[in-house]
Amino acid sequence: MELKGRVVKKLADDFWVYVNNNTIKCKPRGSLKSSGIYVGDIVDISLQNNLYVIEKVHERTNILIRPPIANLDQLIIVISSVPKPDYMIVDKLILFAYSYGITPIIVVNKQDLSESENKYVSFSYEKFVKIIFVSAKTKKNIGELKEILTNKVSAFAGQSAVGKSALINMLLKKETALEGELSTKINRGKNTTRHSEIYFHENIMIADTSGFTSLDEKLLPIAYYELPYYYPDYNQFKSECKYSSCMHYNEPMVDCKIKQLVNDNKLDKSRYERYRKIYKILEEKWVKTHG
């Protein structure tokens, strides 16, 4: 009889599959070794000669190579007042999530952003990204965060020292999120995680990965001319641009609704400037690759 479960850990050729509230150590069937099995995969397993074998890998909703994980549902982007939020990192993580069909969620930890910073986060992102203001220390709104994480596979990302580990430990009810492990670091420090793993408590599943250490725009799986489609705050007005192919970059303001809205402070100017920087990097990558 075959059982269906999720791969939650991988070490060399050994896999651990979570099935019916139990974690079972498995080996892959020979034909699956070459095609690859990822943490997060939904698989069928069976008992063969007292050894559980992975028989089949179900179709994936997404698969990431860096970090190596499949079927990730949500990317939890954590920011706080200290260190000062780096919104280029936030924008890149949102872009990364959208490009892989993953839902981005912004979590403001510690609830100690200045009033002006809170207003900025809301003005720039609340129309297209869910924002939750929480405090790992006081546990404020942790219930709301738990509700969003329930029955989803989520990964946490963001700058170092924003409180990712504290939040994850609270959610998992144990000291799992060691510094340098689940606290996926962006552009700072060294992440010591050597494998991917999904930790879980009740119906909350959090992926521990090492892949968000340096999110380079050049690694985004999109071309520069596709970039506008990954900005929901721009897409809602795109039909009002003079040209349907408007990139909101070189076009004169009179022809570009996005530029007009930025000029009128209806859209965040600094987010638009970051858009231009990412656009230029992707364009240079395209030229270098395609000539």
Is a pLDDT exceeding 70 seen at residue 290?
Answer: yes
Tens digits of residue pLDDT in 17-54: 999 889 999 999 887 876 789 999 999 999 998 999 99
Domain definitions of the chain by residue range: 3-57, 63-208, 218-290
171-222 confidence digits (pLDDT tens) = 888 765 444 444 443 333 344 445 678 998 888 999 976 555 446 676 788 9
Three-state DSSP state, 271:
helix
Cβ proximity of 89 and 83 under 8 Å: no
pLDDT for res 112: 63
Selected from 2.40.50.140, 3.40.50.2300, 1.20.140.10, 3.40.50.1980, the CATH number assigned to the domain covering 3-57 reads 2.40.50.140
- Residue 244: pLDDT band (50, 70, 90) is very high
What distances in angstroms separate CA 34 from CA 29, 61, 145, one per listed residue?
Answer: 10, 20, 38
- Phi and psi at residue 64, in whole multiples of 5°? -110, 140
Of 272, 267, 290, 283, nearest in space to 226 by CA: 283
d(CA 287, CA 289): 5
Phi, psi dihedral angles at 51 (to 5 degrees): -130, 130
User: Do the domains spanning 3-57 and 218-290 agree at the CATH topology level?
Assistant: no
| pTM, entire model | 0.87
Neighbours of 152 (CB within 10 A): 16
Which residue has 């999904």 as its token pair?
A: 198
- Taking only the tens place, the pLDDT of each residue in 98-139 is 999 999 999 998 766 677 888 899 999 999 999 999 887 788
Structural domain 218-290, CATH architecture: Orthogonal Bundle (1.10)
**Average pLDDT taken over every residue of the chain:** 86
**Does domain 63-208 correspond to CATH entry 3.40.50.300?**
yes
Give the integer Cα–Cα distance in Å for 232 and 245. Answer: 16
